[in-house]
């Protein structure tokens, strides 16, 4: 029996966004590059159905975020990952709008201060960027470091949130 995944596409300042739902929760947000296939590649056990109605609330909240009218999201989320990845993604949700922290601080917050590299890897595999704000994690020296959507998108998101002065931020 095939699983159904619902998706919709919406323009944004960081490019076209593909939002994905399992029918109950948001499971993914992808920033598509120009020319990228809007239908997600998947295994044959998944049927993809475009459903703007299913993703309207997520689309509206993202539009309000990009318009500067929303600083947090109120959506049911269901990312797929390992228990470690899920712990990192939960910790990302506690980083306030307009603030940044280092990977070291993120590792400390999940109770494993020595797992900085593993935290960075989990951060990079976040399937729900923007809403689960992995863009708010920066290098210990205040520099912008890796971002699955690319550093220009990370910079834009931080500037949108008023955190464009990341090098001057005091990192905990």
Q: How far apart are the first and last CA of the chain?
A: 49
Other beta carbons less than 10 A from residue 47's beta carbon: 12
Cβ atoms 135, 97 nearer than 8 A: no
Q: How far apart are CA 34 and CA 150, in angstroms?
A: 13
| Active-site option among 107, 134, 157, 158 | 134
Q: Is residue 134 annotated as a catalytic residue, yes or no?
A: yes
Which residues are known catalytic residues?
134
């Amino acid at each position: 029996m095939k699983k159904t995944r619902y998706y919709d596409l919406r323009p944004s300042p960081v490019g076209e966004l593909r939002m994905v739902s399992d029918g109950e929760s948001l499971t993914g947000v992808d920033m598509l590059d120009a020319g990228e296939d809007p239908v997600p590649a998947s295994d044959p056990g998944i049927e993809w159905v475009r459903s703007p109605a299913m993703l309207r609330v997520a689309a509206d909240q993202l539009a309000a975020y990009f318009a500067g009218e929303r600083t947090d999201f109120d959506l049911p989320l269901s990312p797929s990952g390992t228990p470690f990845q899920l712990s990192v993604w939960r910790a990302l949700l506690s980083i306030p709008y307009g603030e940044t922290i280092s990977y070291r601080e993120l590792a400390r917050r999940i109770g494993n201060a020595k797992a900085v590299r593993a935290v960075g890897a989990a951060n990079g595999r976040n399937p729900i960027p923007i809403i689960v704000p992995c863009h708010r994690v920066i290098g210990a020296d205040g520099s912008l470091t890796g971002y699955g959507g690319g550093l220009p998108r990370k910079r834009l998101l931080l500037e949108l949130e008023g955190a464009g002065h990341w090098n001057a931020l005091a990192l905990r």
